[in-house]
Amino acid sequence: MEYEAPIQNTKYGVCTIDAKQDGKIINADKDFVEITGYTLEELKGKDMNYIKLIVEDERSDIFNYLKSKTTKNGMACLEHFMNCKDGSAVAVSCFTKSLGNGYMDVMLTKNITKVSDKDGSGYDSLTGFCNFNAAEAEISRILMSGVEHCHSVLLFKLRHINRMEEVYGRAFAGVVIENAAIYINHQYCGKGQRVVLGRIRHDTFLVFQCAAEPKTVEGIADWICSEMSKCYYGRDARISGGMTAGICHMPAESSFDEALLCAEKALQYSEQYDELYEVYNENKKYSDIKPVYKNVSGYEDKERVLNYDNRFVSFAVAMLASAKDPDSSLDLLIQRIGLQFGLNRVMINIFENSHYARVTNHYEKGKGIIVEQNLVEDMDDRDGFFQRFDSNGCMKIKDTMLESISERERSYYNKYNMRAVVNFLMYDNDKLIGYVSYSASKAKDEWIQNKLNTLMQISRILSLFITIRLHKEENEQRYESLSIDSLTGLSIYAAFLEAAKKKLYEFDPEKVYACIYADIDNFSYINENFGYEEGNEILKDYALRLQKVRSEGSICCHVHADKFIILSIRNSRKEIEKTVQKVNKEFNAMSRAMYPMSDMRVVTGIYYIDDPGCDIVRAVDHAIHVWKHAKKNKYKTYAIYSDDFANERRTRLKIVGSIHNAIESGEIEAFMQPKFSMKTMKVVGAEALSRWRNPDGTYKYPDQFIPFLEDVGYIIDVDFCIFEQVLRAMSEWKANGKKMIPVSVNFSRQHINHDDFVARIMALTAKYGVEPKYIEIEITESAFMKKPEKMMRFMRELREEGYKIDIDDFGTGYSSLNMLLDVPVDIVKIDKSFIDDYDTQLKREYINQIGNLIQTAKKDIIFEGVETQEQIKFLTDCGYENAQGYVFSKPISMKNFEEKYIYNI
Ligand code: C2E
Ligand code: CA
Ligand code: CA
């Protein structure tokens, strides 16, 4: 980093240090040498380093701050005191830039005057206004000197200063406050009026206006507030900025305290109702408030605006270095430059390839910041243009109408009404990156040297920041290329999370945001039957479909395998749902056409993000959950996370989280539903059904908890819990010499995943000494759909051990009747839906057929869900014997069951 000879009173010293070695000084330029008073050799010597240059008490703190901030952000800015060789300590502004690998450049400017005194001279150093105490004292003085006329108390409050601090940093907010003070000052001072100006809170100004017409007072307030609402408040659309006022026209006899309180009430009112200002009206009702006034001098440190000769330069450095959003800060800074130097335009132009310059930041007098991104200028006579810059990288044009420049350049200046212009070149090390233009709308006799010097210094600082911005962009691009999944061209998950966070940070309330999770169901079918290549083609195909419909700002991500996540940003929910539907429909149609046997289809879960503060990982999690839900329904290709779904999910989590505790503490109870012979009307068996006892003695029914437990596999613990209760009861019947009746117990399809299923059943049966022939294992028909071989093996083994196997809900699954010939089953339970309506001849015929078939296959038959005498008659007429249903008995507690059917026989 090379800096030319210092200009007038501001010196820039630059040194390069190695932060890894306590700031060992690698090199320093002659201004740095001059500021410190040491020779270059001494500075580079082994006993010296940057830490030693910092005044003792805060050494390591300051150095660590510089080091960590520079490593993290590429730059840092701080003021500290520096030890000079002659033993003096000077205040310096220090600005660092990372060179990578722990090396950094440190640029110093010597602060000529110290920051204004901190112990509250009565003036706020940021704005130069009185602080509260001083304002109050001054106002009392005026009032004491005799009041004849009516005075007015005005309070001006800036909107959203705290949000600005959060988003753009303190320095930014400080400038907004300072700008407001400039407007206020401008309106009241030097106009022959008697006023007191104060800053009484961080964001609130007090104006005491003597003896003015109420209409005039209000007119000025109106002007200030409406002008302020046009000012620049950063690029974040959520922060509106602006100013609101409360006014109290003070009757001659009232005190200042009273008037101030009334002004506060009016201020609060106008703020609440979003008015420009409100004039206190004693007939109106305002809410009661107790305002707090602070002397705001304590803020100056944080606002980091300094009060010395080269104040503007330091201000620029501080402003940019503490910026959270460089572009917004650059904008604000060039606006300030424009105002301060009476310019009509300030533009930062960045070169793009060899012929173009793009305007990245643009201030125009009267319009403020112009955020028009695509202002690109073709530069035809580039060489000629460069030749007109002097050795300081400065080009002065006193009058663009008269200067001998190309016609294109002239028309360019003309277009923007730039009559007198200075351009400064900007470098990134040795590479030319662009130039800053400052212009006035009137021709000049001469640009004032002092002004030029400051502009030059500011331009250098701007160029450093732009360099950093450019590097940041480059890094981001590099990062982007690494964050793309090579197969699909979509983002990888980690990059998606980062990008999505940013998008949510820029949340636009006009738009609808959705986190969408998509997964291709049965995708493995393709991999297994057609190979991975074909599988990859499918993934690419789907990714392409996503990209085709991708809306502006949306991010698509390929997580892995057949899983995709999208952050969709569109105008309406309807638009999002329509798009999802369209993509899914087309993909699924393709799938059916190309792989008719595969059952492959894409299913999507949609979670709408209403809260921009929402954690993106959570949003993904919600989308996955609702996707799981969608997947269960064969006819749906997407589902939306709704309040109902959220409630269901809460219930689900509660159930899943408390089931083991419930089992332990005996809340899961086996209820028994007897099975009857329709011939003898005697009990021939029973089915154990689970119930979850609530603390108040009521019960939860299986459909309220079993599906959730099936999903996570905890159902198997419930099954064994019920099974054990049944075994315990049976062993007691046996011990009491009672007649044993067979009991069936439901076992979920989930057991298929546990190889010890059979062994566990046998061990428990043995533990209670119950004979397996009294035990029926009920497995639902659909459990034979997936991995039927394994299920069949289990059943075969259990049968060999003497257990009976029931096939439950027969007729609801997809298995053909032929299946019955192969499955190792003893009893077939015909589902309730078969006897619910048997009134047509055809149905009767069908029920008969089934019965015949089952009997041919030598299975026992039982009908479940029998509710009426007619059904009994029908079934007995058809020749069937066994049934279960409400007409005989509902499921009842074990105790009840035993009393009724075991111990009374
Ligand atoms: P399921 O195995 O088909 O059990 C029969 C269900 O029908 C029981 O409901 C029973 O109360 C009901 N029911 C019996 N007769 C009639 C009738 O005449 N009319 C009507 N409308 N319903 C009748 P429940 O007890 O609510 O159980 C529902 C389902 O929950 C069971 O269907 C079974 O699939 C499952 N389940 C219950 N307990 C367990 C268990 O311990 N383990 C497993 N894995 N599943 C269980
Ligand atoms: Ca059952
Ligand atoms: Ca059933």
pLDDT at res. 294: 59
* Tokens, residue 91: 């205040």
pLDDT at res. 243: 92
Atom of ligand 1 nearest to the CA of 748: 44
Measured distance CA(631)–CA(562) in Å, rounded: 14
Name the most confidently modeled range: 132-136, 179-183, 797-801: 797-801
Q: DSSP class of residue 264?
A: H
For the chain, give percent helix, strand, coil, nearest 5.
Answer: 45, 25, 30
Q: Whose Cα sits closest to atom 11 in ligand 1?
A: 891
Q: DSSP class of residue 10?
A: B
Ligand 1 and 670: CB distance under 6 A: no
pLDDT at res. 829: 93
Measured distance CA(733)–CA(731) in Å, rounded: 5
Q: Is the pLDDT of residue 449 over 50?
A: yes
**What confidence tier does 655 reach under pLDDT thresholds 50, 70, 90?**
very high
Q: How far is CA 838 from CA 675, 817, 841, 847, in A?
A: 21, 19, 8, 8
Atom of ligand 1 nearest to the CA of 715: 44
pLDDT at res. 304: 35
Ligand 1 and 702: CB distance under 6 A: yes
From the CA of 689, how far away is ligand 2's center (Å)?
7
Measured distance CA(309)–CA(201) in Å, rounded: 27
Ligand 1 and 690: CB distance under 6 A: yes
From the CA of 748, how far away is ligand 2's center (Å)?
10
pLDDT tens profile 365-422: 888 888 776 677 777 777 888 888 988 789 999 999 998 888 888 988 998 999 999 9
Q: Is the pLDDT of residue 426 over 60?
A: yes
Q: Whose Cα sits closest to atom 22 in ligand 1?
A: 865
pLDDT tens profile 815-844: 666 667 778 889 999 999 888 877 777 777
Ligand 1 and 871: CB distance under 6 A: no
Ligand 1 and 463: CB distance under 6 A: no
CA angle 779, 721, 691 (to 5 degrees): 80
Range in 138-152, 310-324, 604-618 the model is least confident about: 310-324
Q: Whose Cα sits closest to atom 35 in ligand 1?
A: 702
Ligand nearest to the CA of 884: 1
Mean pLDDT of 753-761: 94
Q: Is the pLDDT of residue 863 over 90?
A: yes
Ligand 1 and 831: CB distance under 6 A: no
Q: Is the pLDDT of residue 10 over 60?
A: no
pLDDT at res. 637: 92
Measured distance CA(616)–CA(504) in Å, rounded: 8
Mean pLDDT of 844-856: 80
From the CA of 814, how far away is ligand 2's center (Å)?
18
pLDDT at res. 115: 34
Q: Whose Cα sits closest to atom 23 in ligand 1?
A: 865
From the CA of 777, how far away is ligand 2's center (Å)?
9
Ligand 1 and 715: CB distance under 6 A: yes
Mean pLDDT of 206-215: 87
Ligand 1 and 865: CB distance under 6 A: yes
Atom of ligand 1 nearest to the CA of 671: 25
Ligand 1 and 833: CB distance under 6 A: no
| Residue 552 · residue 506 · CB < 8 Å | no
Atom of ligand 1 nearest to the CA of 670: 41
pLDDT at res. 163: 83
From the CA of 853, how far away is ligand 3's center (Å)?
19
Atom of ligand 1 nearest to the CA of 747: 44
pLDDT tens profile 719-732: 999 999 999 999 99
Ligand nearest to the CA of 835: 1
Beta-bridged to residue 609, according to DSSP, are: 513
Ligand 1 and 244: CB distance under 6 A: no
Q: How many CB atoms lie within 10 A of CB 511?
A: 15
Ligand 1 and 891: CB distance under 6 A: yes
Mean pLDDT of 428-445: 87
* Tokens, residue 292: 């707090």
Ligand 1 and 674: CB distance under 6 A: no
Ligand 1 and 111: CB distance under 6 A: no
From the CA of 806, how far away is ligand 1's center (Å)?
14
Q: Whose Cα sits closest to atom 30 in ligand 1?
A: 702
Ligand 1 and 313: CB distance under 6 A: no
| Residue 890 · residue 900 · CB < 8 Å | no
Ligand 1 and 669: CB distance under 6 A: no
Ligand 1 and 218: CB distance under 6 A: no
pLDDT at res. 323: 61
pLDDT at res. 179: 77
Q: What proportion of the chain, given as a percentage, has pLDDT over 70?
A: 89
From the CA of 102, how far away is ligand 2's center (Å)?
71
Atom of ligand 1 nearest to the CA of 701: 26
346 or 174, which is more confident: 346
| Residue 96 · residue 76 · CB < 8 Å | yes
Long-range contacts of 649-653 (CB under 8 A, 24+ apart): 649/625, 651/708, 652/708, 652/711
From the CA of 899, how far away is ligand 2's center (Å)?
23
753 or 845, which is more confident: 753
Q: Whose Cα sits closest to atom 33 in ligand 1?
A: 746
Supply φ then ψ for residue 56, to 5 degrees. -35, -65
Q: Is the pLDDT of residue 9 over 70?
A: no
Name the most confidently modeled range: 300-309, 338-347, 709-718: 709-718
pLDDT tens profile 766-814: 999 999 999 999 999 888 777 788 899 999 999 999 999 999 988 776 5
pLDDT at res. 814: 58
Ligand 1 and 748: CB distance under 6 A: yes
Q: Is the pLDDT of residue 345 over 90?
A: yes
**What confidence tier does 309 reach under pLDDT thresholds 50, 70, 90?**
very low
Ligand 1 and 717: CB distance under 6 A: no
**What confidence tier does 429 reach under pLDDT thresholds 50, 70, 90?**
low
Ligand 1 and 423: CB distance under 6 A: no
Q: Whose Cα sits closest to atom 28 in ligand 1?
A: 702
From the CA of 707, how far away is ligand 1's center (Å)?
12
Beta-bridged to residue 638, according to DSSP, are: 604
pLDDT tens profile 452-508: 877 887 887 788 778 777 776 776 677 667 778 889 999 888 889 988 988 888 888
pLDDT tens profile 688-706: 999 999 999 999 999 999 9
Q: What is the mean pLDDT of the chain?
A: 84
pLDDT at res. 12: 67
Whether the CA torsion 304, 308, 314, 319 is positive or negative: it is: positive
86 or 217, which is more confident: 217
Q: Whose Cα sits closest to atom 20 in ligand 1?
A: 865
pLDDT at res. 101: 80
Ligand nearest to the CA of 743: 2
Q: DSSP class of residue 393?
A: S
Q: Is the pLDDT of residue 579 over 50?
A: yes
pLDDT at res. 708: 92
pLDDT tens profile 211-225: 788 898 999 999 889
**What confidence tier does 318 reach under pLDDT thresholds 50, 70, 90?**
low
Best probe residue, ligand 1, of 668, 673, 689 (max atoms within 8 Å of C-beta): 689
Ligand nearest to the CA of 702: 1
Instruction: Give Cα 133 distance to the centre of its chain.
Output: 44
From the CA of 745, how far away is ligand 2's center (Å)?
7
User: For the chain, give me the number of helices (H) and strands (E)?
Assistant: 30, 32
pLDDT tens profile 368-377: 888 776 677 7
Best probe residue, ligand 1, of 687, 715, 746 (max atoms within 8 Å of C-beta): 746
Ligand 1 and 722: CB distance under 6 A: yes
